[in-house]
Amino acid sequence: MLTHAQIWSAIDRLAERAGLSASGLARRAGLDPTTFNKSKRMTAEGRARWPSTESIAKALTATGTPVEAFVTLMNAGETHAARPLPLLGVAHAGSGGYFDDAGFPAGEGWDQIAFPEVADAHAYALKISGQSMLPAYRDGDVILVSPSAAIRRGDRVVVKNRDGEVMAKELKRRSPTAIELRSLNAEHEDRTLPAEDVLWMARILWVSQ
């Protein structure tokens, strides 16, 4: 059963993962800064007050967090230990030797970063460099990538093509012949790649900001 405590704890963890306070998360989501404050979680009469679906949706959008990851945060125990994940700068991801043919991390040269509650044994992290992915991802942000996760239209993904280019985009449409990608930065054009030119595509589950 879903509990009041689970929902609010997940919001706290969401804020913490983004390097924000509860009020900072609310501001980033375009909400009143007090929306997620502890004082708002109970009424003056002592009844539980629940966050609105809209406020949660805006917080997930502001942090680039899928609903599935939020559910994981609701079920996460405080004692879950972080485990090390392979970490690589996105600028180096296009170089040979870091991934196998399926898009799983391989070879040498990876650093490590601690990350809790990751179900995919092949998950890895990429560190963003530069400003080309603003406002979704900033220089220094770390994205968590799951090569085993199912991908649907509208998901943010990392794609590698045959030219060795690695890009983070939003999946706009996928057909047997082409992959259509929407750029996260409005100053950059959307991309359409022939399906045979895509070596692999993996879903972005999380961003640590």
pLDDT digits (tens, 9 = 90+) for 12-24: 989 988 888 999 9
Return the closest-CA partner of residue 56 out of 90, 9, 107, 115.
9
Residue 204, helix vs strand vs coil: strand
- What percent of the chain has pLDDT above 70? 94
Residue 99 structure tokens: 């991934």
User: What architecture (CATH level 2) is domain 83-208?
Assistant: Ribbon (2.10)
Domain covering 4-75 assigned CATH 1.10.260.40 in the classification: yes
The predicted-structure confidence for 34-88, as pLDDT tens digits, reads as follows: 999 988 888 877 788 999 999 999 999 998 888 888 888 887 654 445 678 999 9
pLDDT in the model for residue 79: 45
Highest mean pLDDT among 8-22, 36-50, 163-177, 195-209: 163-177
Res. 1 pLDDT band, cuts 50 70 90: low
Confirm whether 4-75 and 83-208 share one CATH topology: no
Question: 51-63: per-residue pLDDT in tens?
Answer: 999 999 999 999 8
**Over residues 98-108, mean pLDDT:** 87
Query: CB neighbours (10 Å) of residue 42?
Result: 12
Please tell me which of 70-74, 90-94, 142-146, 192-196 the model is most confident about, judged by mean pLDDT. 192-196
Helix pair 67-75, 53-63: axis angle to 10 deg: 110
- Considering the entire predicted model, what is its pTM? 0.66
Beta strand pairing status for 191-194 and 142-146? unpaired
Q: Does pLDDT of 105 surpass 80? A: yes
Q: How far apart are CA 143 and CA 208, in angstroms?
A: 6
Task: Name the residue ranges covered by the structural domains of the chain.
Answer: 4-75, 83-208
Residue with tokens 């012949």: 177
Asked if residues 69 and 205 have their Cβ atoms less than 8 Å apart, the reply is yes
Question: DSSP per residue over 133-147, as a string?
Answer: TTTTS-TT-EEEEET
pLDDT score at 132: 87
